[in-house]
Amino acid sequence: MTPLKRIHAIVHGQVQGVFFRDYTQRRARHLGLGGWVRNLPDQTVETVFEGEADKVEAMLAWLHEGSPHSRVSAVDAVEEEPIGENEGFFVLY
C-alpha cells in the first residue's frame, strides 16, 4: 500500500481573482487527491490535500507554479497526519 500524506498550505501572491481555486481543484482531482481550497480575507489562498505521497508532492510542486494568471510569491506548507480525507476535492466559500 502506498503511504498517505497530508499537506496544509497557505499560498501567497496574486492568487485571488485569477481562477487559482478552480485550477487547484482541477489539479487535485486529476491527481486523485482529497481536500479543499478557499480564499482568505488577507488575499491568500488556503488549501488542504491528502492522498498518495508522490501525488501530494506533485500537488505541492504545482502550488509553487500556480495557475496561468496567478503570481505565486510563497507557499507556507506543513505536513499533517493523514485522516483519510482522500475522496473529493472541494472549493469552500
Give pLDDT tens digits for 30-75.
999 999 999 999 999 999 999 999 999 999 999 999 999 999 999 9
63-77 pLDDT per residue, tens: 999 999 999 999 999
The kind and range of the H/E element at 25 are helix 20-31
Q: Which residue has the higher pLDDT, 52 or 85?
A: 52
- 27 tagged catalytic: no
Q: Single out the catalytic residue among 6, 27, 39, 71.
A: 39
Residue 86: the pLDDT is 75
What is the pLDDT, as a whole number, of residue 63? 98
At residue 1, the pLDDT reads 64
How is the chain split into domains, by residue range? 4-85
Overall fold of domain 4-85: Alpha-Beta Plaits (3.30.70)
pTM of the model: 0.95
* 86 part of the active site: no
Strand, helix or coil at 30?
helix
CA-based nearest residue to 6, from 85, 62, 90: 85
Position 92: which residue type? L
Active-site residue (options: 6, 21, 27, 86): 21
Identify the burial level of 63 via C-beta atoms within 10 angstroms of its C-beta, where 0-12 means exposed, 13-18 middle and 19 or more buried. buried
What number is the average pLDDT over the span 15-30? 98
